[in-house]
Amino acid sequence: MRIAASAEDVFAVLADGWSYAGWVVGASHIREVDPGWPAEGTRIHHSVGPWPLHVQDVTRVLHVVPGRLIDLEARMWPVGSARVRLTLTPAGPGATDVLMEEEITQGPGRMIPTAVQAVLLKPRNTEALRRLGDIARGRA
């Protein structure tokens, strides 16, 4: 998805762990962000889902290239966990193409074939990217 903000502005939102619930569809509350986020191994402690049915878990940074890429392990036990990669590619002045790839890697959802997961997750991830873009543009 093309976002009308620079890669630096988009990454600034990703680098603000406290903004996670503002753009990640399903995240409902941020309880804590590890110092140093988004360094590899740091975590966001969050709740997922509506209260009072929310699940408390964490998202951990697996790999990061500041301004260009962040690779996350998003957990929501007992449902499972997913690997989420956001790749940022500059697309001209003040524009960034953001690719969000997500694959369920643990739990019952991993039994779903990857191609089917992609179809099921596409609407949620499209909305997440819209929200990410809105926040990035608002901060720029």
Domain chopping of the chain, boundaries: 2-139
Taking only the tens place, the pLDDT of each residue in 4-38 is 999 999 999 999 999 999 999 988 899 999 999 99
Averaged pLDDT, 93-106:
94
Taking only the tens place, the pLDDT of each residue in 54-99 is 888 999 999 999 999 999 999 887 778 999 999 999 999 999 999 9
pLDDT band at 117 (very low <50, low <70, confident <90, very high): confident
Structure tokens at 89: 């590619």
Residue 67 — left, alpha, or beta (φ > 0 → left; ψ -120 to 50 → alpha)?
Answer: left
The CATH fold of domain 2-139: Alpha-D-Glucose-1,6-Bisphosphate; Chain A, domain 4 (3.30.530)
List helix spans (H) across 15-62. 20-23
**What is the C-alpha to C-alpha distance for residues 47 and 27, in angstroms, rounded to an integer?**
6
Averaged pLDDT, 100-108:
91
In angstroms, the Cα distances linking 134 to 10, 29, 86, 129 are: 10, 19, 16, 9
